[in-house]
Homo-oligomer: A and B are copies of this chain.
Amino acid sequence: MKTFHEYKNPSLAVDLVVFGYHNNTLSVLLLNRKEEPFKDCWTLPGGFLQMEETFLGTCSRILQTKLGMDEVFLEQLYSFDAPDRDPRGRVIAVGYYALINPAKFQVVGGSMANDVQWFNVRKMPVLGFDHKQIFRQAHERLKSKILYYPVGFELLDDLFTLTELHELYECILQTTIDRRNFRRKILDAEYVINTGMKREGLKNRHPELYKFNKQLKKNNFQINVPTVS
């Protein structure tokens, strides 16, 4: 077999949209760049693909070194190819999004700890590169995916109440969902398992704690939201 002739190739970057849910708010982790281009501008955390690395490998490296986290839900989003998306030259970006529970991770990033910050998805600053577009696409993906696939629990503690799950859905979808109908859908789909325990110490009735049903047959439910027209 003849050996592979190496032409000049674009660089390949992986950019991450890391979603976290905390205090009834959906947030995204952004990095304040310390170098040109887009110095002092907020951007998605990202990194270049090393020659022997897989995309998930690059994701892990970014999550660990810049954000100090590991073992999170990751899904490939889309690849971005606009020729002028990076002023330094031709760079293709593969977008991934991650879902994490901020309570489980200390956001510290090596030397650039205080340059990493959570931003409410509804109060996003101007982003460098084409990261606004990547963020938007990730946000849309999350909103549509959560309707038919159980990803919500990735953002919550291992044990959660149905009210907490309900609030998460309302927050992500930015709409109101009838509490009782939501409850019926989630329970009928066997999305969750009742642990029998209750969350103590609240002012009012103590709600039951559920955990995610990992044996769930996928695509078993469909949350409906009122169509805005």
Q: CB-defined interface of A67-92 with B at 8 Å, one 1/0 digit per residue?
A: 00000000010110111001111101
Partner of A4, one of B7, B55, B78, B88: B88
| A37 at the B interface (CB under 8 A) | yes
| A49 at the B interface (CB under 8 A) | yes
Q: Which residue of B lies closest to A95 (CB)?
A: B79
Q: B94 contacts A82, CB within 8 Å? A: no
Residue among A2, A11, A48, A83 having the largest count of chain B Cβ atoms under 10 Å = A11
Q: Which residue of B lies closest to A11 (CB)?
A: B9
| A146 at the B interface (CB under 8 A) | no
Contacts A37-B1, A79-B76, A79-B94 given: A89-B6 contact, CB under 8 Å?
yes
| A54 at the B interface (CB under 8 A) | yes
- Distance to closest chain B CB from A88 (angstroms): 3
In the complex, chain B residues whose CB is within 8 Å of the CB of A94? 79, 81
| A8 at the B interface (CB under 8 A) | yes
Q: Which residue of B lies closest to A39 (CB)?
A: B1
In the complex, chain B residues whose CB is within 8 Å of the CB of A37? 1
- Distance to closest chain B CB from A207 (angstroms): 32
Partner of A76, one of B4, B11, B78: B78
Contacts A9-B11, A10-B51 given: A87-B1 contact, CB under 8 Å?
yes
| A36 at the B interface (CB under 8 A) | yes
In the complex, given contacts A1-B87, A2-B35, what are 9 additional A-B residue pairs having Cβ atoms less than 8 angstroms apart? Answer: A1-B37, A4-B88, A7-B48, A9-B9, A9-B12, A9-B51, A52-B83, A54-B83, A81-B94
